[in-house]
Amino acid sequence: MKLAATTSIAVGAGMAVADAIQLQLPASSGAAGQPFDGYVSYSIEFSSFPDFAGNASNPNLFSYNLINNLGKVMGTNPYIRVGGNTQDYALYDANQKEALVGIYNISRSPDYPTTITIGKAYFESYRTWPGVKLSHGFNLGLGATKPEGWTTLQQTAPIACEALSHDNLYTWEYGNEPDLYSTSSQGPVRPKDWNEATYVEQWQNGTNKIRELVQKACPKLADPTFMAPSFAGVGSHLNGPKTFKAGLDDNNDIALFSTHNYISGAGSPGVTLQGTLMNHTRTKASVNVHVNEYNQIHAITGDKTPPLMFGECNSLYNQGRPGLSNTFGAALWGIDFNLYSASVGFKRVHMHMGTNYRYQAWQPVETDLASIGTKAPYYGSMAVAAMLRNSASHPVSIGTLALPNDAESGYTAHFTSGSKTGKLARVMIINMRGYNSTVDGAGLDPLPKPPTRQVRTYSFQVHDAAAEGQVVQIQRLLANGSDAITGITYDGWSYNRELDMGKPVRLHNVTIGETTTVKNGWVTVDVVDSSAALLSFTKKCT
């Protein structure tokens, strides 16, 4: 079988051609398309939000630039969910001048404060990113059981709605991971007999009050809607389908069914980069659990079922592990996780971040624990945005490719509207075979050479005969290895803060402008281990 020639990465010193994979591309992605507006989105820890967004006098322009980069590629900006564990610790102090005062209790969590008061200045942060829509997380953990918590809800709802009444409201959230309230390692806030019926009663009581307060203070916001139930995952103390049976959405005010996901824990035994994150089978199984739960809810609610999204997710819970969650390998995992989720019906994915967290896409401020800057996972977000680019106006459906190894995955994007319906738009190949760029040579002279980095050849038979002769653009996500935490580029672009405050800067030491051609019905690309390649089908050769 004769394969098409390709302009690709050079196989030079330290690289070797490995296996060649041949596969027929499907005529369509199978699943129905959806707009995917702001599909690549973020969840920001409530206590960290002022760091990420800044305030009226000092907005965080670095964060804003990174958000806008994604928005320019996707056609719509990321949506920002402000919440997490600390939303359920936050109490309001009307006399407090500071935006947030937090006290750390290391025995409860070393990564975020667990005693928190916020002042009116906190809400300034919602006005620092023009064109970005945000959600605000209210405190259900204390709000439904403590007088000071209920008072906080009553005092902050009018302030929050005013801050979010400038065409910057996404939706509201009442409570973070209430399924863990009776079992939380940070300290239970509900009794052991906490159940779905009691949760629904408390949730509806609180959301009814939010509705009343918002309608009075901000009538132009009309009827508030919510993301819910924001459970930590499937199989915890409360059951998602049971909450809907108990009437969670009786008021028809849940706009998005929000669920949370982490592949594993930062301290869990046996967690590795290759076996846990850079493993398509593991990722697929983790996501499918949520799809199965959603299907159960759909059987209960039918056509009224709100769209499915990950309201909070990332690699390893407890804020990630150094050497895993902050590496280029985690960026490759992020592409796989996001695109697989898109292929099975998720409307949006909010990757979680917080100040000093190991899995974050960027560190917004300088601290004694972490340096300000763009982190490896952000580059994975950019690659996903490029795969889904402009899909708010040109919807695509995402399909999966059946590649033979756990350490690789592939996805297709087909147009689903107008005259382009069914046409192949893009293909993403993620080669997650680990390659370490560093070698432990302590005490050795001479130092050992790095191992040979292999290249895989992927050849795809294109179903559409009209694609013959098409120019196919190749854009690559590259780093020195899966263990790299710096030196990462997407299509030759760097988004490092030190270059231009996170705005894209083209580097001159990275090959760009690669193309190949559909020839004899086939298209071929070489993909080096620990990298990803995006193929975009653009135009006929002349």
Q: Where are the domains of the chain?
A: 21-25+400-536, 31-399
Q: Are 514 and 536 in contact (CB under 8 A)?
A: no
Structure confidence at residue 33 (pLDDT): 59
Instruction: State both tokens at 126.
Output: 């919602």
Torsions phi, psi for 334 (to 5 deg): -60, -40
Q: Are 172 and 226 in contact (CB under 8 A)?
A: yes
pLDDT at 11: 43
To 10 degrees, the CA torsion angle through 179, 306, 426, 278? 10
Alpha-carbon gap, residue 152 to 222, rounded angstroms: 22
Four-residue CA torsion sign, 248, 249, 254, 256? positive
pLDDT for 438 equals 76
The pLDDT, as a whole number, for residue 419 is: 59
Report the distance separating Cα 409 and Cα 407, nearest Å: 7
Per residue in 216-241, pLDDT tens?
A: 999 999 899 999 999 998 888 999 99
**Which residue ranges in the chain fall short of pLDDT 70?**
1-17, 30-35, 418-421, 439-445, 447, 538-542
Spacing of C-alpha 374 from chain mean position: 15
Closest CA to 55 of 102, 95, 98, 84: 98
127 φ/ψ angles, rounded to the nearest 5 degrees: -110, 10
- Beta-bridged to residue 43, according to DSSP, are 81, 352
> Bridge-partner residues for 137, per DSSP?
173
Please give the positions annotated as active site.
Answer: 196, 312
CATH architecture of 21-25+400-536: Sandwich (2.60)
- pTM given for the model: 0.94
Task: Please report the pLDDT score of residue 444 as a whole number.
Answer: 67
- Per-residue pLDDT tens for 180-189? 999 998 889 9
What CATH topology corresponds to 31-399? TIM Barrel (3.20.20)
Q: Are 138 and 206 in contact (CB under 8 A)?
A: yes
Return the pLDDT at 422. 82
